[in-house]
Amino acid sequence: MTIDRAAILAMVPHQGAMCLWEEVLDWSDTQVRLRGASHRDPANPLRSDGVLRALHLCEYGAQAMAVHGGLRARASGGAVRPGMLVALRGVVLHVARIDDLAGDLVCEAEVLAEGGDSQQYGFRISCDGVLLAEGRAAVMLG
């Protein structure tokens, strides 16, 4: 089954242009890999002064976590639990901006730890095989 943008929109709270991913390439219970091209969209809501800074890759990583949560909930027949990003750790940005990249973004996110009401993920985002950003993010689940 293809997990395209329409399926992603049905699983996450990020709607319209704020939904940054277009396709789930593959996933398991512990990881997800997504593809997106929204960084090239001049109407991307994260742009400032016409530029999309690499710092916003943290939002791309957080949304990958939300998509993974939606996939896991859908697979288990449960409801998606809303989450709030509470911490970013070890974030390394390898570029200054991403709006000038011609290729698609690919994010790999992996569950590192989880408890009843929290999760920590590691994420890596690349374009054409070049690592753009990596880090860890923690979310509290509602």
Rounded Cα–Cα distance for residues 89 and 69 (Å)? 20
Q: What is the pLDDT of residues 53-99, one digit of tens each?
A: 999 999 999 999 999 999 999 999 988 788 889 999 999 999 999 99
Rounded Cα–Cα distance for residues 73 and 135 (Å)? 24
The DSSP secondary-structure symbol of 50 reads T
pTM for the complete prediction? Answer: 0.95
pLDDT band for position 16 (50/70/90)?
very high
Alpha-carbon torsion (53, 138, 21, 31), positive or negative: positive
How much is the average pLDDT of 135-141? Answer: 95
- The C-alpha angle 102, 17, 90, rounded to 5 degrees, equals 65
**What value does the mean pLDDT of the chain take?**
94
Range of the domain at 34: 3-141
How much is the average pLDDT of 91-110? Answer: 98
Closest by alpha carbon to 68, among 101, 102, 109, 107? 109
The phi, psi pair for 136, rounded to 5°, reads -125, 150
Q: What is the pLDDT of residues 41-60, one digit of tens each?
A: 999 999 999 999 999 999 99
Q: Is the pLDDT of residue 1 over 70?
A: no
Cβ(60)–Cβ(20) below 8 Å: yes
Q: Is the pLDDT of residue 2 over 80?
A: no
pLDDT of residue 82: 83
pLDDT, greater one: 130 or 141: 130
Number of domains in the chain: 1
Cβ(84)–Cβ(132) below 8 Å: no
CB atoms within 10 A of CB 134: 18
Closest by alpha carbon to 123, among 141, 135, 106? 135
Share of the chain above pLDDT 70, in %: 99
pLDDT of residue 83: 86
Q: What is the CATH number of the domain that holds 58?
A: 3.10.129.10
